[in-house]
Amino acid sequence: MVRRESVRLLAALAAAVLLFSGFFGGDKSQAEIQKARQEIRKMSEETLRMLYRYAPEARQQIKNAYGYATFSNVGVNLFLLSTENGSGLAHNNRTGKDIFMKMFSGGVGVGLGVKDFRIVFIFDNKKAFDDFVNSGWEANAQADAAAKSDKKGAAASAAITVAPGVRLYKLTKNGLALQATIQGTKYWKDDELN
């Protein structure tokens, strides 16, 4: 009897997550598409300002990079089910083009609550950028990093390398995350907004 109740609870939670993620949303009108693009661009600008405040060295890294991507993610923990759902854009510094994207991850974890965080990817070269944008990307391995200071005791940097030519910053409202975990997260083009 207890097992049946657990299965029902997990099924109900999974259904709720799908509804919150917009899975059942219909086609958007042109006005809704334009509004969604504007909101994502605004989020991207806010994310970069936040990043530069906490990691000033990132400004030069992004300026010199082939491109970057910014994402706003909302993580939800409901007892044994945890998800992250978000949107963002990948910006090509060479062409100036924005590619709108989505992200999602799901897993099992004990807890209850909602957390809001931002992610910035920096792509050093065309191959790394194109692979991320055109093929989608899935983080199968956990990427953890502790903030480390350089020999002179300067401000900590929490950028980590997650793939050849790809660095990652993870931010919360309180600043740089000392640990960046992106395990099981899938990133792909948003066909509706592109």
Please indicate, yes or no, if residue 31 is contained in any of the structural domains. Answer: no
Give per-residue pLDDT as tens, 157-189: 567 888 889 999 988 877 787 555 666 788 999
Per the structure block, which two tokens stand in for 188?
A: 């792909």
CA angle, 139 as apex, 113 and 10 as ends, to 5°?
Answer: 40
- What is the reported pLDDT for 125? 97
Provide the whole-model pTM.
0.74
pLDDT tens, position by position, 73-109: 865 555 555 666 889 999 999 999 999 999 987 665 5
In a domain, 15, yes or no: no
Q: What pLDDT is stored for residue 161 in this prediction?
A: 82
How many separate domains does the chain show? Answer: 1
> Please, which pLDDT band fits residue 2 given cuts at 50, 70 and 90?
very low
Strand partners, 24: none
Rounded Cα distance, 33 and 73, in Å: 19
CA 61 vs. chain centroid, Å, equals 19
- Assigned domain for 20 exists: no
Of 160, 107, 105, the closest CA to residue 137 belongs to 105
How confident is the model over 5-29, as pLDDT tens digits?
544 444 444 444 444 444 444 578 9
- Predicted confidence at residue 36, as pLDDT, reads 95
Containing structural domain, residue 131 = 36-189
- The neighbouring-strand residues paired with 118 are 72, 171
